[in-house]
Structure 1
Amino acid sequence: MTDYGHDLLFGSFITPSNAAPERVVALAQVSEAAGLDLVTFQDHPYQPAFLDTWTLLSYVAARTERVHLAGNVLNLPLRQPAVLARAAASLDLLSGGRVELGLGAGGFWDPIVAMGGERLTPGQSVTALGEAIDVIRGIWDEDGVGRLVVDGRHHRVAGAKRGPAPAHDIAIWVGGLKPRMLELIGEKADGWLPSLAYLEGLAQLDESNALIDDAAGGAGRDPRQVRRLLNVGGRFTPEPGGGLLVGPPRQWAEQLATLALGHGVSGFIAVGDDPEHLTVFGEEVAPATRELVAAERGR
């Protein structure tokens, strides 16, 4: 049983379709109205059917007031990390501290290369992501000594000016499932952001948490510094008993509470573009889950 003790976060994972851009923005506003903490969008810059995710995040920041925003996850091979760092800090300042940074190492290499990116092996992509985190944090550290120098294999800055610092400590959440990526998350990231649909059962969740914890300890970090988030799909049904996240809102709450208390997950991001689903998730599932977790933690 693992509970890292974080406050719970609830969010939405909205498709950034350009066929109806105002509907995408409206779903973000529905998420905020329902009380969700976070709105996220996938990032595939090579996909012409999608809006550019960073442009969308900036626009949605101006059309919302409270909710935090993140890519889920940003395509690092096509987003230069020093520029991304300044973009994130700028949007955080403009939005009043509402930006988090989800990063991905890439995976669809043919379209990435077609857009001008470098083809990397899985091992190289992990190395590149680690270097990018160093660059991003170095740019944000405007009080750091001297100009920033990172001499990586894939990402280099040679005397870059630092700053601006973001309005708050932007969390860096990393998506990935392979052991080397999990080790990197334990060593350097603020959070792990996988999708439930890609996990081979909850046992993989526990095994992955253990790898992250071991790597964090090896790097001199407390494993509790790494938040565990999860993209979750499912559907609401009138009757219980349909399996994991298939049932009424109360069943969802009980199952999410189990994921929090027994498997260390503290961020739940609902996948889907149905406004009613997001409303039920925010107004019914989220408060019920918080109540169950708080009661158990208080025992």
Structure 2
Amino acid sequence: MGDYGHPLAFGAFLTPGNAEPGRVVGLAVLAEQVGFDLVTFQDHPYQPAFLDTWTLMSFVAARTGTVRLAANVTNLPLRPPAVLARSVASLDLLSGGRVELGLGAGAFWEAIEAMGGRRLSPGQGVRALAEAIDVVRQVWDVEARGGVRVDGEFHRVLGAKRGPAPAHDVGIWLGAYKPRMLALTGSRADGWLPSLGYLQPGDLGRGNTIIDDSAREAGRDPADVRRLLNVTGRFAPVGRGPLDGPAEQWAEELADLALSDGISTFILGSDDPEDLRRFAAEVAPAVRELVAGERAAGTPPAAAPAAPGPAPAEAPAVPRPPAGAGSFAVVPTPDDGVRRSAIRVWDETTRPTGPTPDPARTYTPHDQAGAQHLIDVHDGLRAELTRLYDLVEQVGAGLLDAGTARSHINTMTIRQNKWTLGTYCESYCRVVTTHHTLEDRGIFPHLRGGDARLAPVLDRLEQEHHAIHDVLERVDRALVAFVSVADGMAELRAAVDLLSDTLLSHLAYEERELVEPIARLGLN
């Protein structure tokens, strides 16, 4: 029990409603844009108001590029395990290794029976799930000889050919609450995925004990089982109860769950775009910092496995700050110098530079975390730029109309007036520093006051912010004109190319000049 040392990950739990089919897809795309590691969907095949979850996941996989996907959790009684195994492996191959498998023993048995499924008792459901796991793992094990053979009480697969193998080691996560399901999780599964709203005080600790004991009996390390948790709540100016209050309260409560109960993946159940944005921008970074600080201060857990699937957002290509105080280790993302447009919005050679850092100065993990967060925010904007290019290509291919593309773009952080350092500080300061909030552009006056030598750099950055706003307006005008201009696609691509040139150049400049001052001067 306690912290198992897994890397932290953050996900969304979305309702696959079919009244507005594009809305849930848009929310999934938004989740990727704002930096979620995982997007999950309810799976209730008997619910006529819902889209089919596996069809939806395939569509979302084609519209995203980095976020992992899972059913939360798959309704096993209506999805034969041999067929399910091939569906999972196929989508994992098509998506580049981005699919995980959440499994449940079943519920709402009247509805399952009405769809042709078999009603099972709780004990039968656990035994059926154990057999299904055997079937799934055998289908994926293409190195073994012979066909798939599970001659079970509920599932009989006698000689089916194996394969395909998934693109990565797909995690099998069980939605478990009762002792028999928890024991099965410990002995056979890769993750435990309950919902906090269905748990009573102490249930996480008791569940961990059963899982850990069962894992040891099966010859496994308890840390082999990742602990995930669906959470719901409300963002409010003042705290009114658990997960009902400001973002800093959420962060403290989730960090406590990570350190005390071993939860390493938090999945927010909400269909509100603003909730998703706040969770990703304010809660997730603060939880990561709080947990990293506690882990750095204590003894690191031994032999903790990596998160399943592709590297999550908390393991970027640039190095993270070291655990102890030392030299400055935050690496800005360099400008690759590639320019797609013949237009130059500004002269890069006239950019001023800030003071040279003191080589003798040391920086604490907290100092460097503030600087690293700026790069993380910028990486989200870079990902949105890639998404914008994808939208334009869909418009050009006739897969998306210009009006829908404008609607998607207008929800992006990149399109909002608060995408600059003001929002970075507004979110980061409110969560990470104690009782401290700066106004929209408060970071610039703070840096000016802390080091007057930064004034020319800050003046130039503010000028570039206004220029980028004008470039964004140019993209919007090109989308509007697309339907009436003979060569509208060329104009639209040119506008996006100009945006790419200006935005990527600006972000690299801002990081180069400000990450060290942010670490040195702090945010308060």
Compute the TM-score of the two structures, normalised by the length of structure 2.
0.56
Paired residue for 1:83?
Answer: 83
SS at match of 1:61: helix
Q: State the distance in 2 between where 1:93 and 1:273 align.
A: 28
Q: State the distance in 2 between where 1:242 and 1:213 align.
A: 34
Deviation, 1:148, is 1.4
Partner letter of residue 297 of structure 1? R
Cα displacement string for residues 26-72 of structure 1 (whole angstroms, at most 9, x for unaligned residues) = 01011111100000001110000000000001110001111000000
Paired residue for 2:212?
Answer: 213
Flag as ranges the 4+ runs of structure 1 deviating above 4 A.
Answer: none
Partner letter of residue 28 of structure 1? A
Deviates further, 272-281 or 143-152: 143-152
Paired residue for 1:95?
Answer: 95
Q: State the distance in 2 between where 1:22 and 1:64 align.
A: 14
Q: State the distance in 2 between where 1:165 and 1:254 align.
A: 40
Deviates further, 248-257 or 45-54: 248-257
* Matching of residues 259-278 of structure 1 within 5 Å: 259-278=257-276
Bigger share in helix: 2
Deviation, 1:185, is 0.4
Q: State the distance in 2 between where 1:5 and 1:146 align.
A: 38
Partner letter of residue 244 of structure 1? P
Deviation, 1:174, is 0.5
Partner letter of residue 158 of structure 1? L
Deviation, 1:238, is 1.4
% same residue:
67
Partner letter of residue 14 of structure 1? L
Paired residue for 1:257?
Answer: 255
Q: State the distance in 2 between where 1:133 and 1:283 align.
A: 36
Cα displacement string for residues 222-281 of structure 1 (whole angstroms, at most 9, x for unaligned residues) = 100001101000011112x32211111111111111000001111100001000000110
Paired residue for 2:23?
Answer: 23
SS at match of 2:112: helix
SS at match of 1:210: helix
SS at match of 1:124: helix
SS at match of 2:200: coil
> Is the aligned partner of 1:291 residue 2:289?
yes
> Is the aligned partner of 1:231 residue 2:230?
yes
Q: State the distance in 1 between where 2:231 and 2:200 align.
A: 14
Paired residue for 2:49?
Answer: 49
Q: State the distance in 2 between where 1:263 and 1:161 align.
A: 41
Cα displacement string for residues 94-150 of structure 1 (whole angstroms, at most 9, x for unaligned residues) = 000000000011011111011011111100000000000010010000001211111
SS at match of 2:59: helix
Q: State the distance in 2 between where 1:21 and 1:64 align.
A: 16
Bigger share in strand: 1
Q: State the distance in 2 between where 1:115 and 1:147 align.
A: 30
Cα displacement string for residues 206-234 of structure 1 (whole angstroms, at most 9, x for unaligned residues) = 00110011111111111000011010000
Paired residue for 2:169?
Answer: 169
How large is the RMSD of aligned CA atoms in angstroms?
Answer: 0.8
Q: State the distance in 2 between where 1:248 and 1:30 align.
A: 22
Partner letter of residue 228 of structure 1? R
Cα displacement string for residues 63-94 of structure 1 (whole angstroms, at most 9, x for unaligned residues) = 11110000000000000000000010000000
Paired residue for 2:157?
Answer: 157
> Is the aligned partner of 1:143 residue 2:143?
yes
Partner letter of residue 235 of structure 2? F
Q: State the distance in 1 between where 2:109 and 2:17 align.
A: 21
* Matching of residues 98-109 of structure 1 within 5 Å: 98-109=98-109
Partner letter of residue 223 of structure 1? P
Q: State the distance in 1 between where 2:280 and 2:137 align.
A: 32
Compute the TM-score of the two structures, normalised by the length of structure 1.
0.98
Q: State the distance in 1 between where 2:80 and 2:281 align.
A: 38
Partner letter of residue 254 of structure 1? E
Cα displacement string for residues 266-298 of structure 1 (whole angstroms, at most 9, x for unaligned residues) = 110000100000011011111110111111101
CA radius of gyration, larger in: 2
Deviation, 1:181, is 0.4
Q: State the distance in 1 between where 2:196 and 2:125 align.
A: 22
SS at match of 2:12: strand
Q: State the distance in 1 between where 2:173 and 2:103 align.
A: 6
* Matching of residues 109-148 of structure 1 within 5 Å: 109-148=109-148
Partner letter of residue 279 of structure 1? R
Q: State the distance in 2 between where 1:275 and 1:117 align.
A: 35
Structure with the bigger RCO (C-alpha within 8 Å, sep 6+) is 1
SS at match of 1:11: strand
Q: State the distance in 1 between where 2:261 and 2:181 align.
A: 19
Paired residue for 2:370?
Answer: none
